[in-house]
Chains A and B, each alone.
Chain A
């Protein structure tokens, strides 16, 4: 079984300040972890992905996330927020093994990021 918990449903930051979106996971096996972003009325865009290589993962648009097994966390960060970062962010977990029929993704409940001037 696998699950993710996004600790904050809403986060508000000022433009130019750091962003921290928190995610904790639970997985029976070694997990693969993702962060997706969804802008209003848009689809799901992959920001970054961890699959058991380097624990610090760099993604698009200046985002990065660090896999911490001891804390079962995969928090998303960005040094300086931009207005265009305002969106909903989903932490996602799946099993990091090849299954017979594909890999079901389990989504967190999402964090709405608001960026203010």
Chain B
């Protein structure tokens, strides 16, 4: 069964450092998403991406965040200058069309120290 692959599974970074979280969506999917789950809280939408541009973003997704699909297979989330409150599990997802085939990766746990 096709999978969304996220790397690394766990990343520790110092406050103020830049991090890039990587995702390989399912190959024929067209829509890509990032979600965040702070420990003990619900999963929150960050951003959706389609046709090489952001289609929707939440208020969490401020100027410190950016997304990119650099090579047609990877989908990355960059946090420019990490803060302690960015510590969370970050989930990537992709879908073929609408909600068809909506699949989550296993997540990257980001710890900012």
Contacts and interface: CB of A to CB of B under 8 A. Distances in A.
Contacts, number: 69
A88 to B, nearest CB: 10
A44 interface: yes
B102 interface: yes
Interface residues of B, number: 27
A36 B102 CA distance: 12
Contact of B98 (A44, A46, A99, A110): A99
Given A105-B102, A110-B42, A98 B97 contact: yes
B60 to A, nearest CB: 12
Contacts of A100: 50, 55
Nearest to A6: B42
Interface of B is mostly: strand
Given A102-B31, A103-B95, A43 B45 contact: no
Nearest to B51: A101
A107 B104 CA distance: 13
B56 interface: yes
Given A32-B99, A43-B91, A51-B99, A102 B43 contact: no
Interface in A35-83: 36, 42-44, 46, 49, 51
Given A90-B42, A107-B44, A98 B56 contact: no
A94 interface: yes
Given A49-B99, A105-B102, A43 B107 contact: yes
A46 B103 CA distance: 8
B74 to A, nearest CB: 18
A27 interface: no
Interface of B: 31-33, 35, 41-45, 48-51, 55-56, 91, 93, 95, 97-99, 102-107
